[in-house]
Chain A
């Protein structure tokens, strides 16, 4: 399938017709946006194929626009009504079969040419049969991540590895990562523009697809890509961001083993120890700090905080520091309106206790560095 796509592209490119348009477009567009967010700077196989398809269709379409605009400009310049011909009655032409056939056939041909790679890529990118491949021990050979979207946060479970995390998706580069997507409440959509197009997380079913990251592109983007919710899901739809950490295979394996071997954190200071107590009393009902996925999915109602201190952002959008963390706990309802986390007033958690809690949370790490 992939060959078929490349072949048609090549045929077109060899004809040279589209080459110049195509090259200019690609050159202009590839400068657009940030490498961690832009679909115009593809960082993996899936996104690259889609980017090529976008450019290919844009090339054909530019051709169409140019033809129409040339005729258009010619017509409105040449056939304007002037003082001299003000009373002229033009010949009442009924039509022209030849012309009409020409502008029926050419679009059909153009669209057929576009249809070939469209259908080919639809099938090749929709092929998730590798998810069922098992090794000798019956474990899946591919890396699979279960994504569960919530109002307004993301949970990432690695069923084969027995770990679960949230908000920061960690994946290895240079391999296909397969996803099972679903929603815990209402419909959201899982989108990491530089890695590939989106797929909805429906409350009804599980959707499957794969993405991959090239190591050099990941390095260029600083190992971090931005993920977004792409389906309107309520007031905080705009804030339902997540981050993707793309690590080289060995670093990823290290992260997995750190997550697997994470022990209950031991607070290092007196303040943090106090914070742990507050956390256990006020937060632990919803937030787990154990990265294993033993608890059933339905009970995981709030983000797992096992590696909270190693995350990129707080709540997906705020800078990762103690001040923002404390602000979040006090005003989560105004920062992300409609989210399910209760607001903690000074009566519930005093300022001192909040400092302690923040100190504790900032020590929640699985990777010792």
Chain B
């Protein structure tokens, strides 16, 4: 294994990444693919803002605009934010709990490739007659009425990538339940591991409704079923329920890991343990639980009736309480601390007021009768961007700087990092703050243009200028990444100097087996405890011995590729003579690869003790 990894050359590297089952390399794949889709989604956002720069603009046609806004939402949620967070979970969580890999390394790789081919499928729709154009929510009456194949790409692309996400969620759950190092009790787990745990549970329960909804939509569009066809006794509101029973927990699938990342950053750079750790855990679990009880607040104007609206309004208020607990715990983590404003810490600091803004407007939109005004306007656009950009994207940017050394062994440039921070955060507030007012002044969301003289011109102009600043910030980040990679200055295990959890006890990047000896965990912030007692490494929990590791495999790529091929057959089945054949070929590739995996026993391999002992240069003490 290690000898294969040492083969140099581009081809060998590509092959290594295609076959890897190492959680750290899969993390890099997730970050790279997610980062790529983030740029695509960003370009789509820029096209939206350029179109709305001035009234009555003809930069893009109304139909293309709808494709842009749909793909912006779908890409950012499913192909950027979630995969990048899953990337960080993959990178950090096994290290934090003192594990050598996730519970199912093969599934981990399969999860990535399914996501990747699903995302690829979705984006190929741009070149094959048109992207989906019914919004990321794809409400049934509109999506069934859509003329191009865009919606079919949406349904199948999300289905394939959704399976990948579901596998990731199950994998993380099993990993956290079973593979914690000796002494790592649940209540000693780092906060990011906790949020990974809860978010994974949310994935487990939230994705099946989406899967079902997408299947019904697929059947309606491709096989003439009538689940959502009102004329044939179907019902379109059922889709809305399916979508939001998934869609609301999805928000927490995104924001909880972001909370976890910020918890690590606050405590690291304040040099203090997380204030109110137990109540933070409690609040995380409670948010995850309540997240399933509030989906109908996205549907206040559907006409569900007074009782439903009242109940869901009050239930949604309830989520404000655990979220508030978290905000104050973070503030008091910093209180009395010794705060160093590194780039990640700057993001964490900016996150507090930004996210509180998004949180309080969340309570406002949960106020049902007020939401009759807010709903489907730019107020809501402002609200959820404050939550998702002000929460999730800031967390992703913070974690990119924070964990870059752990993934790549180099540090991103702090000056450029701070320039990105300023551009992005200023741009973000400039873009979205004004949108609250635009919404209340009568601007519905998802409109391709607005007419002059309705009082909406200035606000949109300001908003578009802000978007340009955000784009500049991202460009500076890209420059930073390229410069850092070219310079390639390696750093040690704890480059920030204030690391507290197990991952900072390992070299950057860690060896592929992570821990030579499994660590013995003696409390919250294990590495901090050891540091304070003057030790350099972590007390081991076992004598040095052979390590059992899984073999790499190319099969996940084939399985995912098979489904990708089958999707084309499914979409073109009725129009093209080759459709059915392609569908069958795709399924044969996918299920054939699965069969191969089942029939061929793979027991992995052992790293002999002798090799570990000679690995002194890696400096793995634990």
A91 in the interface (beta carbon within 8 A): yes
What chain B residues lie within 8 Å of A57 (beta carbons)? Answer: 363-364, 367, 370
What chain A residues lie within 8 Å of B263 (beta carbons)? Answer: none
Q: Say whether A197 contacts B454, CB under 8 Å.
A: no
Q: Say whether B373 contacts A230, CB under 8 Å.
A: no
Q: Say whether B328 contacts A99, CB under 8 Å.
A: yes
* CB of A297, distance to nearest CB on chain B (Å): 15
Asked, given contacts A32-B440, A50-B369, whether A203 binds B236 with beta carbons under 8 Å apart, the answer is: yes
Segment among B26-34, B246-254, B300-308, B547-555 that sits at the interface with chain A:
B300-308
Interface residues of B in 252-310 (CB under 8 A from A): 270-273, 275-279, 301-303, 305-306, 309-310
What chain B residues lie within 8 Å of A49 (beta carbons)? Answer: 369
Which one of A51, A75, A88, A193 has the greatest number of beta carbons of chain B within 10 Å?
A75
What chain B residues lie within 8 Å of A205 (beta carbons)? Answer: 237, 303
A293 in the interface (beta carbon within 8 A): no
What is the CA–CA distance of A232 and B303 in the complex, to the nearest angstrom? 17
What is the CA–CA distance of A191 and B371 in the complex, to the nearest angstrom? 12
What chain A residues lie within 8 Å of B303 (beta carbons)? Answer: 181, 199-200, 202, 205, 207
What chain A residues lie within 8 Å of B442 (beta carbons)? Answer: 33-34, 37-39, 193, 226, 228
* CB of B154, distance to nearest CB on chain A (Å): 14
Q: Say whether B375 contacts A197, CB under 8 Å.
A: yes
Interface string of A19-45 (1 = CB under 8 A from B): 000000000010011100111100000
Asked, given contacts A204-B237, A238-B449, whether A96 binds B332 with beta carbons under 8 Å apart, the answer is: yes
Q: Say whether A92 contacts B272, CB under 8 Å.
A: yes
What is the CA–CA distance of A51 and B441 in the complex, to the nearest angstrom? 12
Q: Say whether B364 contacts A111, CB under 8 Å.
A: no
What is the CA–CA distance of A29 and B379 in the complex, to the nearest angstrom? 14
Asked, given contacts A37-B455, A90-B271, A186-B142, whether A197 binds B373 with beta carbons under 8 Å apart, the answer is: yes
* CB of A119, distance to nearest CB on chain B (Å): 5
What chain A residues lie within 8 Å of B352 (beta carbons)? Answer: 68, 72
What chain A residues lie within 8 Å of B306 (beta carbons)? Answer: 122-123, 126-127
B462 in the interface (beta carbon within 8 A): no
Q: Chain B binding site: helix, strand, loop or mixed by DSSP? A: helix
Asked, given contacts A39-B441, A54-B364, A197-B372, whether A99 binds B332 with beta carbons under 8 Å apart, the answer is: yes
What chain A residues lie within 8 Å of B270 (beta carbons)? Answer: 79, 90
Q: Say whether A118 contacts B369, CB under 8 Å.
A: yes
What is the CA–CA distance of A58 and B374 in the complex, to the nearest angstrom? 13
B573 in the interface (beta carbon within 8 A): no
Interface residues of A in 98-134 (CB under 8 A from B): 99-100, 103-104, 107-108, 111, 114-115, 118-119, 121-123, 125-127
How many B residues face the partner with a CB closer than 8 A?
A: 88
Interface string of A70-101 (1 = CB under 8 A from B): 01100110011100010011111111100110
What chain B residues lie within 8 Å of A79 (beta carbons)? Answer: 270, 334-339
Q: Chain A binding site: helix, strand, loop or mixed by DSSP? A: mixed
What is the CA–CA distance of A234 and B133 in the complex, to the nearest angstrom? 8
Segment among B58-66, B89-97, B588-596 that sits at the interface with chain A:
B58-66
Taking a contact as CB atoms closer than 8 A, the residue among A121, A187, A238 that contacts B447 in the complex is A238
Q: Say whether A197 contacts B371, CB under 8 Å.
A: yes
B321 in the interface (beta carbon within 8 A): yes
* CB of A75, distance to nearest CB on chain B (Å): 5
Q: Say whether A53 contacts B370, CB under 8 Å.
A: yes
Give the tally of cross-chain contacts (CB within 8 A): 294
- Shortest Cβ distance from B312 into A: residue: A122
- Shortest Cβ distance from B342 into A: residue: A81
A235 in the interface (beta carbon within 8 A): yes
What is the CA–CA distance of A239 and B230 in the complex, to the nearest angstrom? 25
What is the CA–CA distance of A88 and B338 in the complex, to the nearest angstrom? 7
What is the CA–CA distance of A230 and B341 in the complex, to the nearest angstrom? 43
Segment among B160-168, B353-361, B418-426 that sits at the interface with chain A:
B353-361
- Shortest Cβ distance from A85 into B: residue: B338
A264 in the interface (beta carbon within 8 A): no
A289 in the interface (beta carbon within 8 A): no
What is the CA–CA distance of A347 and B577 in the complex, to the nearest angstrom? 38
What is the CA–CA distance of A228 and B332 in the complex, to the nearest angstrom? 46
What is the CA–CA distance of A99 and B336 in the complex, to the nearest angstrom? 15
Taking a contact as CB atoms closer than 8 A, the residue among B235, B309, B339, B353 that contacts A68 in the complex is B353
What is the CA–CA distance of A233 and B139 in the complex, to the nearest angstrom? 9
Interface residues of B in 416-451 (CB under 8 A from A): 437, 440-442, 444-451
Asked, given contacts A81-B339, A90-B338, A205-B303, whether A100 binds B276 with beta carbons under 8 Å apart, the answer is: yes
Q: Say whether A234 contacts B332, CB under 8 Å.
A: no
Q: Say whether B360 contacts A119, CB under 8 Å.
A: no
Interface residues of A in 177-199 (CB under 8 A from B): 181, 183, 185-187, 189, 191, 193, 196-199
- Shortest Cβ distance from A89 into B: residue: B271
B377 in the interface (beta carbon within 8 A): yes
Q: Say whether B334 contacts A235, CB under 8 Å.
A: no
Q: Say whether B62 contacts A238, CB under 8 Å.
A: yes
What chain A residues lie within 8 Å of B374 (beta carbons)? Answer: 54, 197
B16 in the interface (beta carbon within 8 A): no
What is the CA–CA distance of A131 and B619 in the complex, to the nearest angstrom? 80
B544 in the interface (beta carbon within 8 A): no
What chain B residues lie within 8 Å of A64 (beta carbons)? Answer: 324, 356, 360
What chain A residues lie within 8 Å of B236 (beta carbons)? Answer: 187, 202-204
Q: Besides A104-B324, A122-B313, 8 other CB < 8 A contacts? A: A76-B339, A79-B338, A90-B270, A200-B303, A230-B444, A231-B376, A234-B146, A338-B63
A binding-site residues for B, Cβ under 8 Å = 29, 32-34, 37-40, 47, 49-51, 53-54, 57-58, 61, 64-65, 68-69, 71-72, 75-76, 79-81, 85, 88-96, 99-100, 103-104, 107-108, 111, 114-115, 118-119, 121-123, 125-127, 181, 183, 185-187, 189, 191, 193, 196-200, 202-205, 207, 226, 228-239, 317, 337-338
Can you list 7 A-B pairs, Cβ within 8 angstroms, ordered by A? A58-B364, A92-B272, A118-B314, A203-B236, A204-B230, A238-B62, A238-B447
